[in-house]
Structure 1
Amino acid sequence: MLIVFSGLPGTGKSSIARKLASELKAVWLRIDSIEQAIRESGVVSGSLNDAGYRAAYAVAQDNLSLGLSVVADSVNPWMLTRNAWRGVGLRSNVAVLEVETVCSDKEEHRRRIEARASDIAGLKLPNWQAVLERDYQPWDRDHLQVDTAKRSIADCVALIQAQL
């Protein structure tokens, strides 16, 4: 199974994806970790473009071919990236669950952005203004939307597991 997360920074994607992957004993692929490793390698100067996503697609497909479940954790902001993730699942002949995290309480979302610290060395997190300006396109197909406002991580994970 491939479980693909999507959502703006600060909506709880990584916290939920990490816990879900742990409970399922699945591979957790976090774009932030991959992109930061690419930056630190010095191979790419400037924009990474889609390098992190492309690396994650390949690693996901490798792990799916071994029969492992994969939890993909990224902003996944466009239908282009969402379709690419879906393509990984289709090529691997596995079920794909697409999960979008949202935080409907704007003050709570802002508080999360302003209070959080990066758990990835060297990763610069976006501020609230950058989150508001993010190019995040609406979905055009069915997917599971999880509103994380006033919900615990465990409750969000349970909602997702109920769909598996």
Structure 2
Amino acid sequence: MLYVTSGVPGTGKSTLARQLARHLGAAYLRVDTIEAALLEHGLTATVEGYAVCYALALDNLRLGHAVVVDVVNPLAVTREMWARAGQEADVRLVNIEVICSDAAQHRQRVEARRDDPANRVGEWIPPTWEAVHASAQDFEPWSTPRVVVDTAGRSEAQAFAALLKAL
């Protein structure tokens, strides 16, 4: 199985993706970590992070491992890339969109994340609320099936239980 958790920063997707990977004993691939490593070594981090993550996911899928990917995934073209990975590895793809429908709570999460040194790897720094809000406007509508989990007003445990129920 290939699980791709998507959504704008601060919705709780990384938290849910890590919990899901732990629960399944699956490989966990986070694009932010890949991009941080690229930046730390003086390389660029635009489409390169996605390309590396795609290749690592495919390697793990071909070995028979379930894979949980943690990625913003705002564009139809990136979503199609994950669908191709599932097809190439002959595994089922489950798209998971994580949202936070409470704007005030979402903003608080984004701002707290920026202040948390544990979320900073190398040169990568979490985006500001203004950047997150602007990027949400460019998030392309989904045209493929997905599981949607709203984390607003839920604890991490409650959000994870909602994810498992939806799966």
Q: TM-score range by the shorter chain?
A: over 0.9
1:11-34 Cα offsets, whole Å, 9 max, x none, are 001011011101111000000000
1:85 correspondence with 2:89: no
Distance 2:107 2:164 in 1: 27
The answer for unaligned runs of 5 or more in structure 2 is none
Offset of 1:140 from its aligned partner? 1.6
Could you say which residue in structure 1 is the equivalent of 2:3?
A: 3
- Give the CA deviation at 1:96: 0.8
Structure 1 match to 2:69: 72
> Secondary structure at 2:77's aligned position in 1?
helix
1: CA distance, partners of 2:70 / 2:28: 7
| Conserved 8 A contact 1:33-1:120 | no
Match of 1:98 in 2: 95
Q: CA deviation at 1:41?
A: 1.6
TM-score norm. by structure 2 comes to 0.91
Q: C-alpha displacement at 1:48, in angstroms? A: 2.4
Query: Match for 1:148: what amino acid?
Result: T
Structure with more of its chain in helix, by fraction: 2
How many residues in Structure 1 have an aligned counterpart in Structure 2? 161
Shift of 1:163: 4.5
In the alignment, the residues of structure 1 paired with residue 80 and residue 157 of structure 2 have an alpha-carbon distance, to the nearest angstrom, of 28
Whether 1:161 aligns to 2:155 is: no
Report the Cα offset of residue 99 of structure 1. Answer: 0.3
Per-residue deviation, 1:114: 1.1
Gaps of 5+ in 1: none
Alignment of 1:116-131 (within 5 A): 116=113, 117-118=116-117, 119-122=119-122, 123-131=124-132
* Partner amino acid, structure 2, of 1:89: G
Instruction: Give the CA RMSD over aligned residues.
Output: 1.3
Percentage of pairs with the same residue: 45
Q: In structure 2, what is the equivalent of residue 37 of structure 1?
A: 37
Report the TM-score, using the length of structure 1 for normalisation: 0.92
Residue aligning to 2:147: 144
